């Protein structure tokens, strides 16, 4: 008789690893990641778009982990929160929102937003849009508190972005002014501890006198340090947040705004553009996040396949909440590994050894049929902008990949390797200056098939939205309705049994 082998498929996301020409600023090469590039050569590969419209972002906007994992999990393109907010601004529906009626009852509104042109967690455009709508709805005093980026946006661009914001705000009239200016280090912490977040909240709430802000002070800081670490300063004529004041947090992504919203909410009435987990009551959210009921996890669940999710703290929401279409769990087993106390720059290995152990151990589990895992190093370390440190991180990723590939072969797993966006592939700009932000380069996609499978590529290019249907094909399952097409055909070979 013949037995059809049971497919077991592991998706491993190499966070921040895109394809780019070799050069001094590229840490994603055959030299640094030989296991990845050998798999691409032996089994074929596709180059997938992970930025712009391919992942629901606007043209020219660089991809990020949130939309990357969301698109991987859905198998189709979903408009991003930033795009939806901008559409609501343009068509007038944001201006007409009922929340403005309550906000307009108070004489003052504070807008707290990250001053970024990257659009990963927030966008400077949303700051001035919120301020403009507040003025149009009759709020006489609008105070804008810009949080300097320098991580998602290009380091060193804070002064330029601040000037753009000032110009936009000045056109709104005398009732709009700047308040506290500070770096994202204290605003964007998502560690679970509140040591940094409390510093942010204390500054915005005026618990101590702040030094006066000036362009010269910012330039002096940025001559030696990143704007993300700029201490809190108060702009001329600005004010801080008083108890009971209304606040809008203009982030369009929850993870790096949640703690700050919670801290401000101890004294202020905090509102948000999107759901910030449990930090802001639903009745104070303009556009609550809506769970998306279908996708890869749902399609697999209909066949009793629930991929185990594996990642360390910083990327755990991405392999769960975002991959599941804004649902924290669909009943799957989840393995969340604690991150190290040191920064990724200080310890480029991060918690990768524990993540790799968990992947290998899951492959040994006879009941496991699927894995979705994230290797965070190339992205998290990539943000430091130091090529030599990122290459060290690549060495750790290479060692992990070698272990994972070996375990997959021993245990009969099909291994899918891809990335959610670029970063470590572009560590220097065209003038040789350090870059710590994401790149818009296409990401690799390759499959190391199990012994009972052979692959026939149908396309060598596409987007992250093509991955879900491809994984279903590797399981021997049809494409789910609404998903983009798979990138290959899978031929399954029977094996003889006694």
pLDDT tens for 397-441 read 999 999 999 999 999 999 999 999 999 999 999 999 899 899 999
430 is an annotated ligand-binding site residue: no
Which residues lie closer than 8 Å to 481 by C-beta, 6 or more apart? 294
Say if residue 121 carries a ligand binding annotation: no
Contact 82, 113 (CB under 8 A): no
SS3 content of the chain, % helix, strand, coil (to 5): 35, 20, 45
User: What's the mean pLDDT in 428-456?
Assistant: 94
What pLDDT does residue 21 have?
97
Q: In this model, does residue 6 exceed pLDDT 90?
A: no
Burial-class residue 164 by CB neighbours within 10 Å (0-12, 13-18, 19+).
middle
Q: Mean pLDDT score of the chain, rounded to an integer?
A: 95
Provide the sign of the torsion angle of the four alpha carbons 439, 416, 339, 119, taken in this order: positive
CA distances from 244 to 98, 114, 143 (A): 20, 22, 15
Q: Sign of dihedral through CA atoms 193, 199, 204, 206?
A: positive
Asked if residue 47 has pLDDT above 70, the reply is: yes
Cα angle vertex 87, ends 82, 91, to 5°? Answer: 155
pLDDT over 50 at 240, yes or no: yes
Query: With contact defined as beta carbons under 8 Å apart, do 49 and 462 qualify?
Result: yes
Assess whether pLDDT exceeds 50 at residue 315.
Answer: yes
- Other beta carbons within 10 angstroms of residue 384's beta carbon come to 20
| Secondary structure letter of residue 318 according to DSSP | I
From 188-192, 260-264, 356-360, 487-491, the region with the lowest mean pLDDT: 188-192
CB 270 within 8 A of CB 278: no
Taking residues 76-87, report their average pLDDT.
94
CA distance 199 to 481: 48
The answer to whether residues 71 and 55 touch, using CB atoms and an 8 Å cutoff, is yes
Q: What is the pLDDT of residue 492?
A: 87
Is 255 assigned a ligand-binding role in the annotation?
no
CA atoms within 13 A on the CB side of 106: 17
End-to-end CA gap in the chain? 7
Domains of the chain, each with CATH number or no CATH: 2-78+292-496 (3.40.720.10), 82-287 (3.40.1450.10)
pLDDT at 2: 35
1 pLDDT more than 70: no
Q: What is the pLDDT of residue 4?
A: 47
Q: Which residues contact 322 (CB under 8 A, 6 or more apart)?
A: 65, 66, 69, 70, 73
Please state, in angstroms and rounded to a whole number, the distance separating the CA atoms of residues 477 and 470.
9
Query: pLDDT, tens digit, for every residue of 353-406?
Result: 999 999 999 999 999 999 999 999 999 999 999 999 999 999 999 999 999 999
Helices (H), 57-157: 65-74, 81-91, 99-103, 124-136
The answer to whether the annotation marks 439 as part of a ligand binding site is no
Q: Is the pLDDT of residue 234 over 60?
A: yes
In 149-306, at which residue ranges do the beta strands (DSSP E only) sit? 176-178, 180-183, 233-234, 246-249, 269-274, 285-287
Whether 10 contacts 363, CB under 8 Å: yes
Catalytic residues: 65
- CA 58 – CA 60 distance, rounded (Å): 6
Joined together, the tokens standing for residue 12 give 């491993």
CA 271 to chain centre: 22
Is 318 annotated for ligand binding?
Answer: no
Q: What is the pLDDT of residue 255?
A: 87
d(CA 260, CA 194): 9
Tens digits of per-residue pLDDT, 278-295? 999 999 999 999 999 899
Q: Residue 312 pLDDT > 70, yes or no?
A: yes
Q: Is the pLDDT of residue 5 over 80?
A: no
Query: How many other CB atoms sit within 10 Å of the CB of residue 459?
Result: 13
Residue 69 annotated as lining a ligand binding site:
no
pTM > 0.75: yes
Residues 68 and 83: their CA atoms lie apart, in Å, by 15
């Amino acid at each position: 008789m013949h037995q059809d082998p049971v497919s077991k498929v592991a998706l491993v996301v190499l966070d921040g690893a895109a394809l780019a020409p070799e050069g001094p600023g590229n840490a994603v090469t055959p030299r640094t990641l030989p296991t990845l590039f050998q798999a691409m050569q032996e089994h074929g590969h596709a180059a997938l778009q992970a930025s712009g419209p391919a992942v629901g972002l606007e043209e020219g906007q660089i991809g990020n982990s949130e939309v990357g994992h969301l698109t991987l999990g859905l198998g189709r393109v979903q408009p991003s929160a930033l795009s939806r907010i901008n559409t609501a601004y343009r068509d007038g529906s944001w201006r007409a929102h009922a929340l403005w009626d309550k906000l307009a009852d108070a004489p003052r509104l504070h807008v707290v937003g990250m001053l970024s042109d990257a659009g990963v967690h927030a966008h400077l455009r949303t700051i001035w849009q919120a301020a403009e709508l507040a003025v149009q709805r009759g709020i006489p005093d609008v105070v804008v508190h810009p949080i300097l980026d320098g991580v998602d946006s290009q380091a060193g661009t804070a002064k330029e972005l601040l000037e753009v914001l000032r110009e936009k705000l000045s056109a709104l009239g005398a009732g709009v002014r700047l308040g506290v200016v500070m770096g994202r280090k204290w605003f964007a912490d998502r560690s679970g501890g509140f040591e940094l977040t409390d510093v942010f909240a204390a500054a915005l709430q005026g618990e101590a006198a702040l030094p006066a802000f000036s362009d010269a002070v910012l330039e002096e800081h940025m001559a030696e340090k990143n704007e993300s670490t700029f201490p809190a300063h108060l702009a001329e004529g600005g004010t801080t947040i008083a108890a009971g004041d209304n606040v809008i947090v203009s982030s369009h992504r929850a993870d790096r705004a949640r703690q700050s919203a919670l801290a401000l909410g101890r004294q202020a009435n905090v509102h948000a553009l999107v759901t910030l987990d449990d930090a802001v009551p639903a009745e104070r959210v303009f556009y609550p996040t809506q769970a998306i009921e279908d996708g890869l996890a749902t399609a697999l669940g209909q066949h009793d396949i629930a991929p185990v999710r594996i990642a360390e703290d910083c990327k755990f929401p991405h392999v769960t909440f975002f991959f599941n279409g804004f649902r924290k769990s669909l009943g799957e087993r989840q393995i969340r590994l604690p991150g190290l106390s040191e920064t990724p720059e200080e310890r480029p290995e991060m918690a990768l050894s524990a993540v790799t152990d968990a992947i290998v151990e899951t492959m040994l589990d006879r009941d496991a049929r699927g894995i979705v895992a994230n290797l965070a190093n190339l992205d998290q370390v990539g943000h430091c902008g130091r090529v030599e440190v990122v290459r060290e991180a690549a060495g750790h990723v290479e060692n992990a990949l070698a272990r994972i590939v070996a375990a997959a072969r021993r245990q009969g797993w099909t291994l899918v390797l891809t990335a959610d966006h670029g970063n470590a592939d572009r560590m220097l700009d065209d003038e040789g200056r350090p870059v710590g932000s994401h790149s818009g380069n296409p990401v690799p996609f390759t499959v190391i098939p199990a012994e009972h499978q052979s692959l026939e590529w149908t396309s060598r290019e596409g987007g992250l939205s093509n991955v879900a249907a491809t994984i279903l094909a590797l399981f021997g399952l049809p494409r789910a309705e609404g998903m983009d097409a798979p990138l290959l055909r899978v031929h399954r070979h029977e094996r003889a049994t006694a």
